Amino acid sequence: MPTLTHRRLHLDQTKMAECIQRLAAEIAKAHPNATNLALVGIHKRGVPLAYRIAHRLRTDHDLTCVVGTIDITQYRDDLGSFTILPRLEGSDIPFDIDDAPVVLCDEVLFTGRSVRAAIDALMDFGRPRCVELATLIDRDGREFPIQPTYCGDRITLPADQRVAVRFVEIEDDNEDAVYIESAPLSQA
């Protein structure tokens, strides 16, 4: 694991919660009468994001939605380059997505490769009416023509920096925060 040379706080717990509340409000505005709205979190940190957005949709906007999870490991285009294969988390979409509006949730949109893989994986579960993307952080560096439909925050960073999102629900994260870290260039 490379040593980080610098780490700075970008969003604290309060600012992160405000971004999630804003994401939920934008989704509710776009789908005010939806009866089959589905949020699907991309493993790993897109999952707590999806659940938190769903909670805000239910409590703040009285909007019904279901939440699922999707594992993109087998759909990655860089799987052959790993020396140690990532742990399979498994997908859990226990509802029908045919003709449903689906909002994919991921913590950071960077190259667009994870979202491309998630869309491929999602199609194995059915044919949604539409697929939208909610991301906590949108950073520059796109390699695919993918843009978020809903975005909590946008940032521009040099290539040697990365966004690190932490959720208390994730083992070893122990906090809600978004950090900017200086690290060797790697694909995210």
What pLDDT, on the 0 to 100 scale, is given for residue 119?
Answer: 97
Q: Write 44-47 long-range contacts (CB < 8 A, 24+).
A: 44/89, 44/170, 45/106, 45/107, 45/108, 45/165, 45/167, 45/170, 46/104, 46/105, 46/106, 46/107, 47/105, 47/169
| Tens-digit pLDDT profile for residues 1-28 | 455 458 999 999 999 999 999 999 999 9
| Entry pTM | 0.90
Residue of higher predicted confidence among 121 and 78:
121
pLDDT at 30 over 80: yes
pLDDT at 82 over 60: no
The average pLDDT across 158-163 equals 92
Domains of the chain: 17-77+88-153 (3.40.50.2020)
| Tens-digit pLDDT profile for residues 116-143 | 999 999 999 999 999 999 999 999 999 9
pLDDT at 183 over 70: no
The average pLDDT across 155-178 equals 95
Beta bridge partners of 151: 135
